[in-house]
């Protein structure tokens, strides 16, 4: 069953002795074949594949190279012309190809086959090489937005292929919902190549819309701070919250003394976003520094009431909830004293810092992102 393929690789290898290294072939199928050899990207080096004495099979080698250029450009690498010949052969023979695509929650499973052995062998050859292009980020067809986007995310694509008697069974998956959409869109394009051949290959293909349009009815929720800073969950949107994020929120915005400071409400929203705005909760470290017009929002009830003639401090309840959720709360000692307040008058769960300056500088040095909530 490998004869046609081995022949085609022998032809390729012989024709390319100058400039191409013989390389090992890393693939699912190779485990059952003999000594692996094949044509690779220039500069690639590798050991011969391990064999069990079975029939040998050529295949792609792996290695750095492509004339020293990095990924990202539509490079005319050493495989470019051979790959183009294979595309053209497949497109010319598209009517002899049958293909089914099963969408999985995290990608696709595709079966692409032909009753004509030569076509079946070319499908297998194509997929092996495209697998290498994905693994090594060797882009191709970069004028087509969908393909260009796929090659930006190769590190998040898992591709497994297994030859069948008449072609190849491929599973392509990703843990990233945006990349899952790309994989599924690409599988549809390949099906278009099979149905319409060159007519489809001449077209460009758009990147699927990931702007959250597929989001189920967006119901505002408060995953971690009840009654404040509600959010909607966007599990498929770009830029999901990352585990381990550190954020320093710099609050200088003042408010009416009898009302909750809107900047503190915003901090609650940030916590809710990390707790439930994305596909899954991401634990972060949050710190807040109060200074400027926000300084006195941190006073205890007695001190606040005395200063503003209110019945307690309207910010304390939410500040306490933030504290309970692990948010570190600081007030600038310099501003506090300049506003005739004392560290003893600050709510007990809020720390007085030497200054906002030192908090910002120290926490930025510790890797915190700095967000300003000013006027
Ligand atoms: C009739 C023609 C073609 C057939 C039968 C075919 C078949 C396949 C198959 C079976 C896969 C594995 C992924 C999947 O099944 O969805 C694949 C991947 C790929 N093909 Fe093709 N293909 C054809 C034409 C082309 C052309 C014209 C290009 C580019 C110029 C191309 C570029 C790629 C690339 C870059 C991949 C890997 C990317 C990925 O899977 O996400 N193919 N092809």
Structure tokens at 45: 């080096």
| 130 CA to centre of ligand 1 in angstroms | 7
Express each pLDDT in 45-70 by its tens digit: 333 333 333 323 344 544 333 333 33
In this structure, the residue with its CA closest to atom 5 of ligand 1 is 194
DSSP 160-175: EEEE-SSEEEEEEE-S
Confidence at residue 237, expressed as pLDDT on a 0 to 100 scale: 87
Confidence at residue 263, expressed as pLDDT on a 0 to 100 scale: 97
> In a 10 Å sphere around its CB, with 0-12 CB exposed, 13-18 middle and 19+ buried, how is residue 133 labelled?
buried
In this structure, the residue with its CA closest to atom 14 of ligand 1 is 187
Which residue out of 94, 130, 186 has the highest number of ligand 1 atoms within 8 Å of its CB and is therefore the one to mutate?
Answer: 130
Q: What CATH fold (topology level) applies to the domain 245-373?
A: Hypothetical Protein Ychn; Chain: A, (3.40.1260)
Contact (CB, 8 A) for 219 and 257: no
> Residue 278 carries which DSSP code?
S
Structure tokens at 79: 């495989």
| 190 CA to centre of ligand 1 in angstroms | 5
**Residues lining ligand 1, CB < 6 A?**
87, 90-91, 94, 97, 108, 110, 112, 123, 126-127, 130, 133-134, 140-141, 147, 150, 168, 170, 172, 183, 186-187, 190, 193-194, 201
Express each pLDDT in 316-367 by its tens digit: 999 999 999 999 999 999 999 999 999 999 999 999 999 999 999 999 999 9
| 127 CA to centre of ligand 1 in angstroms | 7
Confidence at residue 211, expressed as pLDDT on a 0 to 100 scale: 58
Q: Which 3-state string (H, E, C) describes 194-221?
A: HHHCHHHHCCCCCCCCCCCCCCCCCCCE
Confidence at residue 302, expressed as pLDDT on a 0 to 100 scale: 98
In this structure, the residue with its CA closest to atom 26 of ligand 1 is 87
- The domain limits of the chain are 3-201, 245-373
In this structure, the residue with its CA closest to atom 41 of ligand 1 is 183
Contact (CB, 8 A) for 27 and 56: no
Q: Rounded to an integer, what distance in angstroms lies between the CA atom of residue 255 and that of residue 266?
A: 13
∠ CA 61-66-72, nearest 5°, is: 115
Who's near 196: CB < 8 A, 6+ residues apart?
Answer: 94
| 50 CA to centre of ligand 1 in angstroms | 28
pLDDT per residue rounded down to tens, the chain (375 residues): 333 333 333 333 333 322 222 222 222 222 223 333 344 444 333 333 333 333 233 445 443 333 333 333 444 577 888 999 999 999 999 999 999 999 999 999 999 999 999 999 999 999 999 999 999 999 999 999 999 999 999 999 999 999 999 999 999 999 999 999 999 999 999 999 999 999 999 999 999 876 544 444 567 788 999 889 999 988 888 999 999 999 999 999 999 999 999 999 999 999 999 999 998 899 999 999 999 999 999 999 999 999 999 999 999 999 999 999 999 999 999 999 999 999 999 999 999 999 999 999 999 999 999 999 977
In this structure, the residue with its CA closest to atom 6 of ligand 1 is 190
């Amino acid at each position: 069953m490998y004869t046609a393929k081995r022949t085609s690789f022998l032809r390729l290898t012989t024709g390319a002795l100058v400039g191409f290294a013989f390389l090992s072939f890393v693939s699912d199928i190779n485990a059952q074949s003999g000594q692996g050899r094949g044509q690779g990207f220039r500069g690639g080096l590798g050991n011969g594949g391990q064999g069990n004495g079975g029939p040998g099979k050529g295949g792609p080698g792996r290695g750095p190279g492509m004339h020293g250029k990095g990924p990202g450009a539509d490079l005319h690498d050493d495989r470019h012309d051979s790959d183009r010949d294979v595309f053209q052969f497949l497109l010319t023979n598209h009517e002899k190809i049958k293909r089914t695509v099963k969408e999985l929650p995290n990608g696709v499973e595709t079966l692409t086959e032909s009753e004509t052995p030569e076509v079946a062998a070319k499908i297998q050859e194509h997929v092996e090489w495209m697998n290498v292009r994905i693994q090594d980020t060797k882009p191709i067809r970069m004028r087509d937005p969908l393909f260009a986007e796929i090659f930006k995310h190769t590190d998040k694509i898992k591709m497994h292929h297994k030859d069948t008697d008449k072609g190849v069974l491929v599973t392509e998956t990703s843990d990233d919902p945006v990349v899952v959409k790309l994989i599924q869109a690409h599988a549809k394009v390949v099906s278009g190549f099979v149905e319409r051949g060159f007519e489809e290959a001449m077209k460009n293909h758009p990147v699927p819309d990931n702007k959250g349009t597929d989001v189920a009815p967006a119901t505002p929720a408060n995953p971690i701070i009840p009654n404040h800073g509600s959010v909607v969950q966007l599990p498929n949107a770009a830029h999901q919250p990352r585990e381990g994020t550190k954020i320093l929120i710099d609050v200088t915005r003042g408010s009416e003394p009898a009302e909750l400071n809107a900047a503190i409400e915003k901090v609650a929203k940030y916590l809710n976003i990390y707790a439930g705005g994305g596909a899954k909760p991401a634990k972060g470290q949050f710190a807040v520094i109060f200074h400027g017009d926000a300084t006195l929002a941190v006073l205890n009830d007695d001190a606040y009431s005395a200063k503003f003639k209110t019945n307690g401090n309207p910010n304390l309840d939410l500040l306490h909830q933030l504290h309970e959720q692990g948010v570190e709360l600081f007030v600038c000692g310099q501003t506090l004293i300049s506003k005739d307040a004392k560290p003893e008058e600050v709510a007990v769960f809020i720390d007085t810092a030497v200054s906002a300056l030192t908090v910002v500088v120290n926490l930025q040095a510790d890797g915190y992102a700095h967000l300003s909530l000013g006027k």
